[in-house]
Structure 1
Amino acid sequence: MAEAILSQISGDFLECTICMEPFKDPKILPCLHTFCTDCLEKFVRKQGDGNDKFPCPTCRTETELPGGGVAGLKNNFFVLSLRDTVDTHKSLVSKEDDKVPCDNCEVNVASHGCVLCEEFLCDECARVHRRAKRTRDHEVIGVVELKELLLTKPPSVKSTPLPLCPKHEDEKLKFYCETCKHPICRDCTVLQHKDHGYSYMADVASDVRAELKGKLEFAMPRVEQYRQFAGVVNEKQEELDTMSEKAADDIDAAAEEEIKYYNGLVRRKQTELKEKLASITATRSKQLSVTADSVESTLGCLSSTVDFSQKVVQHGSDFDVMNVYSDVTARLESLLKGPNPDIPEDIGYVRFDQRKKRKETEIVLGDFVEFGDLMPP
């Protein structure tokens, strides 16, 4: 089960798409895409000086730079915690049973392990663990048994200490300002946010987590719907290409028959008809391309938003959930209210018809009909 869950967390989710390396000081944008601080700063500089907005490097959504520039954007603590969990699990799998280091002293090889603390302990640290008042009631088992237990249980992001407030030294972000929609510390509640509504983060996190799960239930069908839209656009493009190719073959066949008698004139008419066909095909193909870009863009935004939100809800700490709650909600509401793409039913229909009795040819594409005569006057 653990391997199955970890397989859902791809390396791409834990790597910056600009530098293609593990995140360093990751910042999360309102569109929920994450990048290294240095990578974002370089990207913003390339957009030119004096701009207070910049497009997301992935989805091109406009993002306003807060005070302090890129450094003022929200930190994505969740991906770092998730990466540590994944690395810990991989490290555990790779280590032999008799070479697991003690998590306490970090010097000796572990021979025991605490089930509650999920820590490996050497003989000496295990004895201390059993005697200490805080841990004397913990269950201590063999290193092999604990390793097997940790590898078979579903992995979760370890509870990490709450981050410190960037404005007030040594104060942890343990409150959530319901007015500003982001975590704050105790000093913030009596200074910058004194007239705001706020709560302990632990008291509201479960409700917010449930709310996000509800929003995801509505978003998931939308993702599938856009996957279907993308499939329809691809099918229409294939239909257009196939019928266009057949029409071109038909033009060639008809032209070759007439060329036997009117070589020069028919050749020129053949080229003219194929140019008309190519122009019509290119116009409609361009329409499909624009629609395809729109569908792919919306699908990418929906998929990445849902993927990120699911991982935060399933694996994130209370702080992680509360830290991105307002951004996730705003992003989902923005994406879900967008209109469906307009894909004309007949845009892929094209054919060539050589009317021998009237000595005329016909190119038909939707409601557009162009007549051309392969026979000279």
Structure 2
Amino acid sequence: MAAAALPTKTTCEISQELIECPICLERFIDPKILNCHHSFCQKCLQKLVDNQNPKTGFIICPVCKEKTKIPDKGVSALLNSFFLSSLIDDVINSEGPNQRPKSESSKCRKHTDQELCFHCDTCDLLVCLKCAVLDHQAHTLIEITECVKSLRQAVTAELMKFDECRKQFQKVDVSIKHSGRRLQLMVDRTLAEILAKEEEEVAKLRNASRLLRERVTEIGQERVKEFKSIRISNQDKMSVGKEIVASVNDLMQQADNFELLDLRPKVMHNLDFHKELQFQTVQHSRSFIGFKGHDVVTDADLGEILEEEKWEVKAEFGKEGEGEGEFEWASDVACFSNGDIVVCDHERQLLSTFTSKGSYKSTGVQSGTEDGKLKQPFDVAVTSDDLLLVIDGQDVKLYDRELRYIRQFRPSQNQVEGQSELSGIAVDKKDRIAVADCERKVISLHNMDGSIISTIHHDDIAYRLSVSSKERLIFINYVKLKLVCVDFIRNEVFNISTSIDGKPVNPNGVCCDDAGDIYVVVHCGGKVGTCEIHHYDASGEHIGCVARGLYNPGGITFTPTGDLIVTDRNSVKILHRV
């Protein structure tokens, strides 16, 4: 065995400074750590405690004056400083046997001329040779060196267990931080949804108020017109009566007696008009109009807080066929920022667009060139500025929201026909395009103009691909039953087998939410009608089942409002949280 290198003067000086107790200024013996991270000998701390008021429940650090609570079991229960103990051992070993001070405790107290050389496991006691012969003949004796070796091995084993605990802590801590970030995203989104609902309801109230005000005005105008018409009619009748009265008065004043007697029948007949003079009245109730408000907004009306994540199908559209809004094989789906849905039909080799509620809008693409026509569309994705990316054979084609052709690029420029098969496409928030090639077992990252950023090789690359907000690529392998995550610099984050309750399931679609959680379409036993959607966290831990009883799902994505859209062979389902 090679001799240990002698320590340098600098190493010795640093070591001596580090291994001396600030209280006794001697090398640490059983060093303990306070909350402030300063270390002291156990016996020195015990003296501090013994010299202070017994009712005091803490130790004041002699260096920084910070308080540390005394454990219920006393000073001995404080944390051990394994680092200092190890450092002291290293310094003692580096000093060599000639410089190592003899410990007074290495001599047997009973036989003071004898060195302690055994550990009696039966009595848990260090003994010398004479003690072993005279007092411990039937006991289990182990040489001190072997005992220390066994102790070190046991300590090492325990430290390894602690290391596993540390790794588990880090994993749990990462999971908690992820959950915290996801919670904040969900809080922000929920607050935005509540405000949007508030504005929607306020808009409804304002519209209802406007309609009511318009109706009140209309009723008022109709009744005013009615009142005016009646008044005019009454006034006309009164005018006729006044004219008759005026004529009779004139006659009575100007005619002589003979004329009046001669005209008496006519005069009296004219004066009978008042018997037929009837004025139209208005019901007093017609002068009233008022308003009774309804309790249109209550807690139940506006909405409720969802504290558990549960999903159900909100809408479904499409059926098997070749007509408008029908599918032969809806292979993938994407969503524009306005909520419009675009569905790729691999069998019919076309794209169809629908509203956010599933109402059919249009089918096909508008292309002025042969390049813009679709030949083998399979996967689709949407960029932040609503450009539609479509895998079409060996090319990635770009269309606008009206499905007008823009341009295209080929990820594998130097590959001959048959050596490349594009099998998945995704885009991140920075509009970096990820394209999976299951034939070459590579994912290529591209800028929007198609220029290459980097390539990532992995043996499990197959169909379907997603990208999370953490610059991670998540992909599945239906045959190998794999869910894999790698980062943009080629590090594998996790690689897990997809199984539910111990039973293997085939993953067939994948997407991520804004927080990085993963949603996977799985085929259970390869049987149609029994497929499900499952939820995993960002570290690959299985969270639970989102939906069951799907027919034959494949492509899956999120809407801008947080709903899930999944293609189900001949239909498309929209799921929302309830």
Q: TM-score normalised by the shorter chain: which range applies? A: 0.3 to 0.5
Structure-2-length-normalised TM-score:
0.25
Structure-1-length-normalised TM-score:
0.35
Higher relative contact order (CA 8 A, sep 6+): 1
Structure ranking higher in strand proportion: 2
Bigger CA radius of gyration: 2
Structure ranking higher in helix proportion: 1
